[in-house]
């Protein structure tokens, strides 16, 4: 059990980019640092549920719905209730500037929801990147006492299939569906050395989606705190990374390897056609009209 090991790799180490799908079309179920990549067929749901049932765990789940994004909460929560940690204790923490727009969704017995009111922002970038600071503070004020694991998830999404205890691990990231067959020099990492999120073109494992951050409360705290500090340094120099906090998350995961990776089954986009390797879509970004849902 290496779940307590913090797997760091040094800057500038040169090694081959890991593949997600092998040339014969088979999915790759393990990263080159021996972290599992969760795909359909790599776990037995009945067995893994029975193992985790014996532990009395709570999974905190943070979701941000500011401005017009409250419209996504109903489908997000209703589909989560059908698919997300069914039979396990889940506590949703919904951050919003419009608590009156949080829909009343019937939750199963062991699932709870807390609404946390936060001030509005008028730049969508600020909303997205301020998630790190808010996650850091929530962990300090509550989650250290209230949960074992935490996931931070995008709200403009729906669950279509099982997302269960197979996703739990010390530090968990999801491979972005748009880049799993892309050479790393073409990843949309931050490429300006002035930014704390900078990654040189010869480095990189996977491109991780900012929509999913998970793991033990302590480890996710470290992610949120570090990314928030790096975002603050960038902000003091008036630099905003290419993909805001997602860029900083990618930098963090490159040098602090996740202990478990979620395949693109766990982070899809509704507009993307199905592909052979993805047998089941579990969680997917809904199609949205950016101009209509964002504050600017």
Q: Is 65 in the site for ligand UD2 (CB under 6 A)?
A: yes
Q: Is 156 annotated as belonging to a binding site?
A: yes
Closest residue by beta carbon to ligand UD2: 210
Q: Is 169 in the site for ligand UD2 (CB under 6 A)?
A: no
Q: Is 207 in the site for ligand UD2 (CB under 6 A)?
A: no
Which one of residues 136, 154, 222, 265 is an interface residue with ligand UD2 (CB under 6 A)?
154
Which listed residue (81, 203, 246, 265) is catalytic? Answer: 246
- In the Cβ-directed half-sphere of 5, how many Cα atoms lie within 13 Å? 12
Per DSSP, the three-state class of 295 is coil
**226 with 283: CB under 8 angstroms?**
no
Q: Is 189 in the site for ligand UD2 (CB under 6 A)?
A: no
| Angstrom distance (rounded) from CA 8 to CA 258 | 9
Two structure tokens written together for 193: 């050395």
Pairing of strands 111-117, 89-96: parallel
Which one of residues 58, 62, 128, 196 is an interface residue with ligand UD2 (CB under 6 A)?
128
Q: Is 35 in the site for ligand UD2 (CB under 6 A)?
A: no
265 is catalytic: no
Q: To 5 degrees, how large is the angle CA 230–CA 236–CA 239?
A: 75
In the complex with ligand UD2, which residue's Cβ is closer, 124 or 163?
124
| Angstrom distance (rounded) from CA 16 to CA 72 | 39
Which one of residues 61, 167, 244, 284 is an interface residue with ligand UD2 (CB under 6 A)?
244
Q: Is 124 in the site for ligand UD2 (CB under 6 A)?
A: yes
Taking CB atoms within 8 Å and a gap of at least 24, the contacts of 185-189 are: 187/250, 188/242, 188/243, 188/247, 189/242, 189/247, 189/250, 189/251
Q: Is 240 in the site for ligand UD2 (CB under 6 A)?
A: no
- Stretch near ligand UD2 under the rule CB under 6 A, chosen from 83-91, 122-130, 160-168, 272-280: 122-130
Mark residue 238 as left, alpha or beta (left: phi above 0; alpha: psi -120 to 50; beta: remaining): left
Range 225-248 burial, b when 16+ CB lie within 10 A, else e: bbbbebbeebeeeebbbebbbbbb
In the complex with ligand UD2, which residue's Cβ is closer, 224 or 267?
267
Which one of residues 49, 203, 240, 245 is an interface residue with ligand UD2 (CB under 6 A)?
245
Two structure tokens written together for 149: 């694991």
Q: Is 69 annotated as belonging to a binding site?
A: yes
Q: Is 232 annotated as belonging to a binding site?
A: no
Q: Is 250 in the site for ligand UD2 (CB under 6 A)?
A: no
* DSSP-assigned beta bridge partners for residue 285: 157, 269
Q: Is 227 in the site for ligand UD2 (CB under 6 A)?
A: no
Q: Is 243 in the site for ligand UD2 (CB under 6 A)?
A: yes
Residues of this chain that interact with ligand UD2 (CB under 6 A) are 64-67, 69, 124, 127-128, 154-156, 176, 209-211, 243-246, 267, 285, 294-295
Annotated binding site: 69, 154-156, 176, 246
């Amino acid at each position: 059990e290496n779940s307590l090991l913090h797997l760091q790799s040094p800057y500038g180490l040169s090694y081959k980019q890991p593949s997600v799908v092998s040339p014969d079309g088979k999915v790759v179920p393990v990263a080159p640092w021996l972290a599992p990549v969760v795909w359909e067929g790599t776990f037995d749901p009945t067995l893994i549920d029975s193992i985790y049932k014996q532990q009395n765990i709570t999974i905190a789940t943070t979701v941000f719905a500011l401005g017009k994004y409250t419209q996504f909460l109903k489908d997000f929560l209703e589909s989560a209730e059908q698919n997300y940690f069914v039979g396990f204790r889940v506590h949703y923490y919904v951050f919003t500037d419009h608590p009156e727009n949080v829909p009343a969704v019937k939750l199963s017995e062991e699932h709870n929801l807390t609404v946390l009111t936060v001030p509005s922002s008028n730049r969508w970038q600020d909303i997205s990147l301020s998630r790190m600071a808010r996650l850091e503070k929530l962990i300090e004020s509550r989650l250290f006492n209230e949960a074992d694991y935490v996931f931070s998830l995008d709200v403009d999404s729906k669950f279509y299939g099982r997302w269960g205890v197979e996703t739990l691990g010390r530090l968990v990231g999801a491979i972005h569906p748009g880049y799993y067959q892309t050479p790393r020099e073409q990843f949309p990492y931050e490429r300006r050395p002035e930014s704390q999120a900078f990654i040189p073109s010869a480095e990189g494992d996977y491109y991780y989606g900012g929509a999913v951050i998970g793991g033990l409360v302590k480890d996710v705290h470290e992610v949120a705190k570090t990314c928030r500090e790096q975002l603050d340094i960038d902000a003091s120099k008036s630099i905003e990374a290419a993909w805001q906090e997602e860029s900083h998350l990618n930098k963090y995961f490159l040098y602090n390897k996740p202990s478990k990776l979620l395949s693109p089954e766990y982070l899809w986009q509704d507009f993307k056609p199905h592909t052979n390797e993805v047998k089941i879509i579990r969680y997917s970004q809904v199609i949205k009209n950016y101009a209509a849902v964002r504050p600017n």
